[in-house]
């Protein structure tokens, strides 16, 4: 078993890091570290803006403290890095947060310390990209003076059923002994159990293909939705019929965004291309999913034209900006593609999402959210994210915002087919 006296630092307190820090903070000294001082101040007051960790959960983590200065984590011996790994405008992996976090850890790294990465990366990134930074900044030697592990995060934002302790954890270490230590460490908080991978690269690869597989399955049903739409067949009806077979996978069409499914495949394809192999199936799935926002907007415009609605100057309400329902996470949300495409047609678009921080929407996408839609003002409504608050009133509640001759586009199939004009 790992030694309970060893102090942990969790680097990055977002959707992944904070729940992890809170769990460890219940049983051993833990410091939650983040460079965002405003975030640290909020957490010290018991408030988590991501809504993943409640004030009660934070209060129960009696050994958890928060810090924004690296000097406050210098006495830790285990460092767990949980920073984001996004893609840039050219869909290439952006390791900047990971490298900066590694530099911060390297500045306080000591002999015998262990650095564990949870951020999603391509196979080899921990040892090929992060370890050299740790060595350069610390002046220490990998696998002699310090050691590394990799345990991919499996957090599902907004999911109150599958929480960190109840999701089985893959672990790995840079030596057999460290692999045992890392596995024992996570076993202290993961009630669902752990799975010790044979190497760091295997653990990295396992994570990146989890979401690549989901991406491809969603791309398949998205392409089927496009085909069935041309045939005049309701895609949801087809999927429900096919779903009566025991081994049919229950994927549904839709916009594919977020910090994982819409991003992780590009990490794998980047590494493959660096090795001289051009992935075909994975990138084909990405192209389909990345194009769904424009497709939805195009279908919306066609439906409006069929009702003889003047497109130039028409008003459309887009309901939801988060990348998924019942969470305030807008990272890589593809709803913005629908908004941008509709505006290219000359449509005036309002975006409404009570889960979102208006300042964050403004900062990330330049979008001004509206607090309350105007009654009877819209030629079209797009239900882009099926928050419970949107589902609650049904299409009848949305009717108050629509003009008599208008279109309801139900992207999430939240309502029955006869209650909407358009859906995937």
pLDDT tens-digit readout, 219-258: 999 999 999 999 999 999 999 999 999 999 999 999 998 8
pLDDT tens-digit readout, 119-131: 999 999 999 999 9
- Residue found under tokens 């930074």: 133
Asked whether 98 and 81 are in contact (CB, 8 A), the reply is: yes
Asked whether 319 and 356 are in contact (CB, 8 A), the reply is: no
What token pair was written down for 212? Answer: 């690549």
Q: How many CB atoms lie within 10 A of CB 270?
A: 16
Which pLDDT band, with edges at 50, 70 and 90, does 2 fall under?
very low
Which is catalytic among the residues 76, 130, 148, 260? 260
pLDDT tens-digit readout, 200-213: 999 999 999 999 99
Active site residue 148: no
pLDDT reported for residue 139? 98
What CA–CA distances, in Å, run from 377 to 296, 308, 314, 391?
21, 17, 10, 20
Asked whether 422 and 409 are in contact (CB, 8 A), the reply is: yes
Q: Mean pLDDT across the stretch 373-381?
A: 94
pLDDT reported for residue 258? 83
Whole-number percent of the chain with pLDDT over 90: 86
Q: How far apart are CA 15 and CA 36, in angstroms?
A: 14
Pairing type for strands 114-117 and 147-150 reads parallel
User: Residue 387: pLDDT above 90?
Assistant: yes
- The predicted model scores a pTM of 0.92
The chain-wide mean pLDDT, for the chain, equals 94
pLDDT tens-digit readout, 59-78: 999 999 999 999 999 999 99
Q: Mean pLDDT across the stretch 73-93?
A: 95
pLDDT reported for residue 160? 75
pLDDT tens-digit readout, 297-352: 999 999 999 999 999 999 999 999 999 999 999 989 999 999 999 999 999 999 99
For the beta sheet containing 64-67, the strands, ordered from the edge strand earlier in sequence to the opposite edge, are 64-67, 30-33, 8-11, 78-81, 114-117, 147-150
User: Residue 3: pLDDT above 70?
Assistant: no
User: Residue 1: pLDDT above 80?
Assistant: no
Q: Is 293 helix (H, G, I), strand (E, B) or coil?
A: helix
């Amino acid at each position: 078993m790992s030694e309970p006296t060893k102090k942990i630092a969790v680097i990055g307190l977002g959707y992944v890091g904070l729940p992890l820090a809170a769990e460890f903070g219940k049983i051993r000294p833990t410091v939650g570290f983040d460079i965002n001082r405003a975030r640290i101040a909020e957490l010290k007051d018991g408030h988590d803006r991501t809504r993943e960790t409640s004030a009660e959960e934070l209060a129960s983590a009696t050994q958890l403290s928060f810090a924004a200065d690296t000097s406050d984590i210098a006495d830790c011996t285990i460092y767990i890095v949980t920073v984001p790994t996004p893609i840039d405008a050219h869909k290439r992996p952006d390791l900047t947060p990971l490298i900066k976090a590694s530099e911060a850890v390297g500045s306080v790294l000591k002999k015998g310390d262990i650095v564990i990465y949870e951020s999603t990366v391509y196979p080899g990134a921990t040892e090929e990209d992060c370890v050299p930074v740790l060595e350069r900044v610390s002046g220490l030697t990998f696998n002699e003076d310090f050691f590394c592990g990799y345990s991919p995060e499996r957090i599902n934002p907004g999911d109150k059923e599958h929480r960190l302790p109840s999701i089985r954890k893959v672990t790995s270490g840079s030596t057999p002994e460290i692999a045992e230590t890392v596995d024992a460490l996570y076993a202290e908080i993961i009630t669902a159990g752990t799975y010790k991978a044979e190497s760091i690269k295997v653990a990295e690869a396992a994570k990146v293909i989890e979401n690549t597989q989901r991406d491809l399955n969603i791309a398949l049903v998205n392409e089927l939705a496009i085909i069935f739409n041309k045939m005049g067949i309701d895609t949801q009806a087809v999927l429900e019929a096919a779903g009566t077979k025991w081994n049919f996978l229950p994927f549904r069409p839709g916009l594919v965004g977020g910090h994982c499914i819409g991003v992780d495949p590009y990490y794998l394809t980047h590494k493959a291309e660096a090795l001289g192999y051009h992935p075909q199936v994975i990138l084909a799935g990405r192209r389909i999913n990345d194009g769904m926002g424009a497709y939805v907007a195009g279908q919306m415009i066609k439906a409006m034209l069929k009702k003889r609605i003047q497109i130039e100057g028409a008003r459309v309400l887009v309901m939801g900006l988060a990348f998924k329902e019942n969470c305030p996470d807008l990272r890589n949300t593809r709803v913005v593609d629908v908004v941008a495409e509709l505006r290219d047609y000359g449509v005036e678009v309002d975006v409404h999402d009570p889960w979102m921080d208006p300042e964050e929407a403004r900062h990330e996408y330049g979008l001004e959210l509206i607090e309350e839609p105007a009654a009877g003002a819209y030629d079209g409504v797009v239900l882009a994210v099926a928050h419970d608050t949107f589902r609650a009133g049904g299409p009848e509640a949305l009717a108050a915002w629509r003009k008599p001759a208008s279109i309801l586009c139900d992207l999430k199939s939240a309502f029955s087919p006869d209650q909407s004009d358009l859906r995937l």
